[in-house]
Structure 1
Amino acid sequence: MNWGTGDGSRLLGELRGQIARFVILPSEHALNAATLWVAATHLQPAWQHAPRLAVVGPAKRCGKSRLLDVLTETVHEPMLTVNTTPAAVFRSITDQPPTLLVDEADTIFGSPKVAEKNEELRGLLNAGHQRNRYVTRVVGNDHTPRRFATFAMAALAGIGDLPDTIMDRSVVIRMRRRAEGERVHPFRSKRDTPALHALRDRIAAWTGPLVDAAADLEPDLPVEDRAADTWEPLVIVADLADGPWPVLAREACQFMVAAELQAEEDSPGGARILADVRRIFFARREPDSLTTTDLLAELRSDPEAPWGEWGRAGLTARDLGSLLREYGVASGNVRIADGTQRKGYTRSKFLDPWRRYCPAVHPTGASPAPLTG
């Protein structure tokens, strides 16, 4: 792509290339969003809202931590929050706030008991999305009340969705495990960090004089309400860079916000559902499609699987749709033997997630039919 003649557009193009060098993101839109988010961290004094970047995936080894590695070396003043108390975090936030980076966020917000222990951190992350939201704490021997700022951009990576209040304030990137044939460069700090730091410093030099201009812009956005608050800094960065970026930013915004509106908020089950559906297609000699009724009957009849006791009456069509939607698989009308159409799932929709999340050898021990065609 021609990134134009302006410094900003070229710098964003370079940053985009560096991210793509080490991580395969789920779409071009997600790659463009991550690029713009990094650049936006260098203009935080200009923003009314500090968008979170939620890097989530349904399983391990989806590239979440690797993306966070690259972000750490390119954002403004990275602050890793590993074993950091909320008090230490908000005491580190100034008029030039750091960029908060939280890896393995599922271990912080996962179970209700653990989440309760980290409620203060979640409150800080929620409040810090908007400027002029403070926390008050007593300090010193005389317990003097003091206000602390919370406003700072933050990236959080974890397995499964983060708390709804954080997801609602986030640009959400749903990572996928690399499929066979997809290749990235290994990230090596000693070798790769100097180039990333040099790029980071050039982005900082470009954005430094633009704080006032960024604060004054009111871009047209394809979304409204909180989504507009979250995406506005990214779109402003794109407008300042010019070249193809204003169009790319708005396309990413529209596509990714719409995708999140369709996503279920809570999708338990992990990749087990994919493996069990694959087993059923395999056992039936790989038909082009199966009805939802037939799939549910097979799933619920397996005594070794959890689906027969899922919920009050076993796995339902709605449950199945929720579990599979996280992997990009949706039901539709399929044709059955008598020529009529019923709700069901086509095999072709499963091919990509099967490659990414299921074992190379079929669970029965036999070699599976080829996953093509």
Structure 2
Amino acid sequence: MSTPLRIVEPQHLTGAALLDAITGFVSRFIVFPNEHCAPMLALWYAHTHAAEHFYVTPRLVISSAEPGSGKTLVIEVGQYLVAKPEMVLNASTPAVFRMVANNGPISLLWDEVDAIFTSNGGTNEDLRAMLNAGYKRTASVARCVGDSHSVQRFPVYSPVALVGLAGGMPPTITTRAITIHMRRKKRTEKAEEFRERVVQRDAEPLRDGLSEWIGSVAESVGEAEPTMPPGVANRSREIWEPLLAIADAAGGHWPTTARKACAHFVQEAEQVPVTTGVRLLADLRTIFTDRNTDRLATVDILAALADLDEAPWGDINGPGRPIDARRLARELALYRVAPGPIRIGGQITKGYVTQPTKNQEGLADAWSRYLSDDQNSDNEGDSWEH
């Protein structure tokens, strides 16, 4: 067991040393699935102390396939390291709005958040809107308040960590987030038991040191435009920019460590289709590629989809009810792809093509827009989010 870290004079530590200490601290209590998680968390915790200086605050999603995987520990430990922590379990919509509006950017640490997104009721729509929009500094939500129903705009920008079971959060959140998929630790993997008094005591000098150091570099990191790893652009660039800016300000090994973590999490996110439609496009590309053809009849596509190992299409309409022509057409219509008459072996039948024709759009355009170059359905079945 590692010796608890003590920091008597946190102001004497460099940024790199503070981030090292926080990485080691969280690793005392949590067994992570890979070596990139703890450094990323150290940077995310750090960015909450300068959130008002960034245009974007990346959502942090902590998920797992099963309970008991250590998800909640990430925010239980993190509450003693972030700025203005607010642990949330079942808060009302007005309460959350006012917490953020009255206290500026706060660190919302939200447990069991999957219940918000899986609920069929309409009472959670305002919370969804806040979580979706509030990752940008300029975001606000307009509401009618009081007897006069006057319009009031509530600022909703705040760092947010969301804890829940895998598959419980929509793409509108996950595409704005850095996601750790936690796993239950093996019997051979050991971690120090979480004791609140111990964590609070040992974290206090770390948070004080972090707050002081971040305060000294906040304006410069807020204006920084850090270099991204190859292939990191658009939304991924946007959510990683604050963390890489902090890593560059810390110096030492942190610019390299942070970019390795960035490349890992971005690549991991791109390997997992986040919607039914993207999964369907990926599986169709596999089928067309394996058969080395530019056209297939609908009946042959349906049979091939149903036969794919570890794919959902054999039961997509219920147990024993595979995908049918109507469901296939409805899903692909979202990507401006439609079936049409095609000629195969001298016979006219209804089907799909890869390249556009006079009568129909081809699949290749949708593939180029929504799939990465190496995205394939062969290894995506276990991690597909329904």
Q: TM-score, normalised by structure 1?
A: 0.70
2:382 aligned with 1:324: yes
Task: Figure out how many residues of one structure are paired with residues of the other and give that number.
Answer: 285
Q: Provide the rounded CA distance (Å) in 1 between the counterparts of 2:246 and 2:218.
A: 10
> Pairwise mapping of residues 279-318 of structure 1 onto structure 2 (< 5 A)?
309=320, 311-312=322-323
> Pick from 134, 138, 148: which aligns with 2:154?
148
Q: Give the corresponding residue for 1:251.
A: 260
Q: Provide the rounded CA distance (Å) in 2 between the counterparts of 1:254 and 1:321.
A: 20
Q: Provide the rounded CA distance (Å) in 1 between the counterparts of 2:383 and 2:115.
A: 23
2:128 aligned with 1:130: no
Q: Give the corresponding residue for 2:235.
A: 226
CA contact (8 A) 1:86 1:124 kept: no
Deviation at 1:144, TM superposition (A): 2.4
Q: Provide the rounded CA distance (Å) in 2 between the counterparts of 1:148 and 1:76.
A: 20
When residues 20 and 46 of structure 1 are mapped into structure 2, their CA distance, relative to the original with a 3 A threshold, is same
Query: Residue deviations 1:49-82, cap 9 Å, x none?
Result: 0110000111111110111111111111111222
> Pick from 97, 118, 131: which aligns with 2:105?
97
Q: Which moved more, 1:139-148 or 1:75-84?
A: 139-148
> Pairwise mapping of residues 47-196 of structure 1 onto structure 2 (< 5 A)?
47-94=54-101, 96-111=104-119, 113-114=120-121, 116-161=122-167, 162-196=169-203
Q: Provide the rounded CA distance (Å) in 2 between the counterparts of 1:298 and 1:92.
A: 48
When residues 244 and 101 of structure 1 are mapped into structure 2, their CA distance, relative to the original with a 3 A threshold, is same
Amino acid at match of 2:123: K
Q: Give the corresponding residue for 1:9.
A: 16
Amino acid at match of 2:156: T
> Pairwise mapping of residues 24-35 of structure 1 onto structure 2 (< 5 A)?
24-35=31-42
CA contact (8 A) 1:30 1:252 kept: yes
Percent identical pairs in the alignment equals: 32
**Secondary structure of residue in 2 paired with 1:145:** strand
CA contact (8 A) 1:133 1:151 kept: yes
Deviant stretches of 4+, over 6 Å: 296-300
Amino acid at match of 1:258: Q
> Pick from 207, 210, 214: which aligns with 2:217?
210
Q: Give the corresponding residue for 1:42.
A: 49
Deviation at 1:34, TM superposition (A): 1.1
Q: Which moved more, 1:25-34 or 1:90-99?
A: 90-99
When residues 254 and 141 of structure 1 are mapped into structure 2, their CA distance, relative to the original with a 3 A threshold, is same
Q: Provide the rounded CA distance (Å) in 2 between the counterparts of 1:102 and 1:49.
A: 19
Q: Provide the rounded CA distance (Å) in 1 between the counterparts of 2:106 and 2:309.
A: 52
Deviation at 1:309, TM superposition (A): 2.8
Q: Which runs of 5+ in 2 are unaligned?
A: 1-11, 277-303, 312-317, 325-375
Amino acid at match of 2:32: L
Query: Residue deviations 1:304-323, cap 9 Å, x none?
Result: xxx9737459xxxx998543
**Secondary structure of residue in 2 paired with 1:9:** helix
Q: Provide the rounded CA distance (Å) in 1 between the counterparts of 2:174 and 2:241.
A: 16
**Secondary structure of residue in 2 paired with 1:43:** helix
CA contact (8 A) 1:56 1:172 kept: yes
> Pick from 213, 238, 245: which aligns with 2:247?
238
CA contact (8 A) 2:310 2:382 kept: no
Q: Give the corresponding residue for 1:262.
A: 271
Amino acid at match of 1:19: V
When residues 107 and 325 of structure 1 are mapped into structure 2, their CA distance, relative to the original with a 3 A threshold, is closer
Query: Residue deviations 1:252-289, cap 9 Å, x none?
Result: 1111101110013269xxxxxxxxxxxxxxxxxxxxxx
CA contact (8 A) 1:6 1:243 kept: no
CA contact (8 A) 1:6 1:241 kept: no
**Secondary structure of residue in 2 paired with 1:232:** helix
When residues 310 and 73 of structure 1 are mapped into structure 2, their CA distance, relative to the original with a 3 A threshold, is farther
Deviation at 1:96, TM superposition (A): 3.7
When residues 58 and 264 of structure 1 are mapped into structure 2, their CA distance, relative to the original with a 3 A threshold, is farther
Amino acid at match of 1:129: Y
When residues 310 and 75 of structure 1 are mapped into structure 2, their CA distance, relative to the original with a 3 A threshold, is farther
Query: Residue deviations 1:134-182, cap 9 Å, x none?
Result: 1112333333222110111100011113111000000111111101200
**Secondary structure of residue in 2 paired with 1:309:** coil
CA contact (8 A) 1:33 1:252 kept: yes
Amino acid at match of 1:324: D
When residues 137 and 320 of structure 1 are mapped into structure 2, their CA distance, relative to the original with a 3 A threshold, is same
**Secondary structure of residue in 1 paired with 2:228:** coil
Q: Give the corresponding residue for 1:201.
A: 208
Q: Provide the rounded CA distance (Å) in 1 between the counterparts of 2:104 and 2:308.
A: 58
CA contact (8 A) 1:139 1:145 kept: yes
Q: Provide the rounded CA distance (Å) in 2 between the counterparts of 1:298 and 1:96.
A: 50
Deviation at 1:202, TM superposition (A): 1.3
